[in-house]
Every structure is written in C-alpha cells, then in structure tokens.
C-alpha cells in the first residue's frame, strides 16, 4: 500500500521547520507503511562541495581515513561525507577499494537521504529528522507486499546528483527499462522497480530534459500504475499515471506546496485551513522550482 509525502517551501522563514513538519507527515502515514521508512532533505549545502550519504557500520573513522578535507556527520546507521567537488571520484574510488561494505545511497550538493527498517516514527527519530532544516523534502512509508522487508527496498531512491524519488504503485516494464538504461551508464543497486523509475528520470535529466519534461515523457515510457513524488536540487514535482488508482492529495498556500497519500498527512501544516486543497489530476505534471 505505502504512503508518500512531500513538502516544498516557498517561504524561507519556514526552512528551520522543514524537518519537524516532514516528520509529522511521515508519522501520520505509518499505517500505510509500517515496515520501513525513508526521507530526503534538501539543506543549505556548501558552495563547491559535494555530499555523499552512506549506509553501513563502523562509520566513525571513515572520514579521517579518506583525508583531511573530508567532513563527516554520523546519524545512526548513516554517514554524510562532505568534500570538495573535484574529489568525488577519488572519494568513491577509496570507498570501493577500502570499504566495499558501505553503500552510497545519495549524492549531490544539497541532498541528504536516510532510510531504514522500522516504524516511521522510530526511523525519523533515529536520524533526527525533526531537527533538520531545508527548502524541500520527500518521504515514504513502506508496506512490503512484493518483496522482503529490507533497508535496500526502502524509499527514496536516488540515481542522480541531487535527485530522488518516492513511488506508490507498481511498474510492469521495469525489467525492460533496466536493460535499456544500464548501457547508458545508469547503475542500479537493488531489484526494486522504484529504483528503475528513479534511474529513468536521472537519465532524462542528464540528457537535458527539465524535470517537468522528464515526467511528461514518463507517462508514455513507464508502464503500470504509479504516483511519483520527485525532488531535485531546486525542484519538486508530482505526477500520477493516467488511471490514478492510488490516492493522492495536495495543498498549496503562498508559503508551501504539500503532497500526501491522504489528507490527514497534511492537517498539521501551518495555515492548512486556508490552503487550496485538491486531488492532482491523472497524467498531469505538477512542478515547482525554488527561487535562485
């Protein structure tokens, strides 16, 4: 069944509250996905530096072993490394050679991505989501109906820089899409169909499509039923398949745009009583970009 949420802030005064608002939205979706949960937050970032979010064990000494210019923040089972952008290939090569047990699950200037097995309230607490600030974020609560309950199967999925996706639904052509995308240099770490959708969008963006254009194309190229909520460095978007059998609701004010699988995920947002609340139309792309 699964639950998905997203929050895009127009008003910078709300940025310190992004994490606490997103955490509340995720916790409300617990009964739609009690097995595992995850979220991505787009924070301030540092000019000229890249962040990698890494999952694994024995994380405390990783940054020191890589080099003096590498910063590190450990949050439970995840580590966020920060380093000059021109060192990304060097850092990835070190990780592959010296710590192949670690999994890179997110990369970019602004994105941090966290996911684990457990009830959503426990997962958000473990990673300290309520204390995180940023401009936008997305999240997912999973009910594993077609595969095992694992952290690898949890959302969001990220296959491109500062890009991630959460998905409610099922794709019937994900195997053929995977075979098409892998020769294009899109790598996959799991067998999850949602990771293939993320890879498809990463490929489209890399080829020069805007986020809105990539999602328009997805309506013809992704076969199945789906609701996608997508984050990029500066954008936030939602699209549903032409049938739209999965529930979805959105709310927009002059301060934010919010998405939830159900309206109750949105009731804790400030000023929700004055929001324009609507059901996103089938096969229509909704996209917003943050002010530069």
Active-site amino acid positions? 2
Distance of alpha carbon 128 from the chain centroid: 16
CA dist 1 and 116 (Å) reads 18
41 DSSP β-pair partners: 112, 137
d(CA 289, CA 135) in angstroms, rounded, equals: 11
Locate all alpha helices (DSSP H) within 69-113, ordered by sequence. 88-98
Residue recorded with tokens 């293939």: 196
Pick the closest to residue 107 from 118, 99, 117, 95 (CA basis).
95
Residue showing tokens 């990698």: 52
Tokens 């970032």, residue located: 45
- Cα 272 to the center of its chain, rounded Å: 24
215: which DSSP letter?
H
């Amino acid at each position: 069944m699964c639950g998905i949420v997203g929050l895009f802030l127009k008003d910078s005064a709300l940025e310190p509250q992004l994490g606490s608002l997103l955490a509340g939205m995720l916790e409300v979706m617990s009964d739609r996905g009690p097995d595992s949960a995850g979220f991505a937050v787009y924070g301030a970032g540092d000019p000229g530096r890249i962040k990698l979010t890494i999952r694994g064990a024995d994380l405390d000494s990783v940054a020191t072993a890589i080099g003096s210019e590498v910063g590190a923040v450990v949050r439970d089972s995840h580590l966020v490394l920060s380093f000059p952008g021109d060192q990304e290939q060097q850092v990835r090569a070190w990780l592959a050679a010296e710590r192949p047990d670690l999994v890179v699950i997110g990369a970019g200037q602004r994105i941090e991505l966290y996911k684990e097995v457990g009830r959503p309230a426990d997962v958000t607490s473990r990673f300290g989501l309520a204390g995180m600030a940023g401009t936008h974020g997305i999240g997912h609560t999973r009910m594993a109906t077609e595969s095992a309950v694992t952290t690898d199967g949890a959302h969001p999925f990220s296959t491109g820089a500062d890009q991630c996706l959460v998905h409610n639904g099922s794709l019937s052509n994900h195997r053929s899409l995977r075979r098409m995308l892998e020769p294009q240099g899109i790598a996959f770490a799991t067998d999850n169909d949602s990771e293939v959708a993320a890879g498809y969008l990463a490929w489209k963006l890399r080829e020069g499509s805007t986020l809105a254009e990539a999602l328009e194309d997805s309506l013809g190229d992704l076969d199945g039923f789906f609701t996608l909520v997508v984050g990029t460095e500066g954008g936030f978007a939602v699209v549903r398949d032409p049938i739209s059998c999965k529930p979805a609701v959105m709310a927009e004010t002059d301060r934010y745009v919010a998405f939830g699988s159900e309206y109750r995920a949105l009731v804790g947002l400030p000023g929700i009583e004055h929001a324009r609340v609507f059901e996103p139309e089938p096969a229509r792309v909704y996209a917003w970009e943050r002010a530069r």
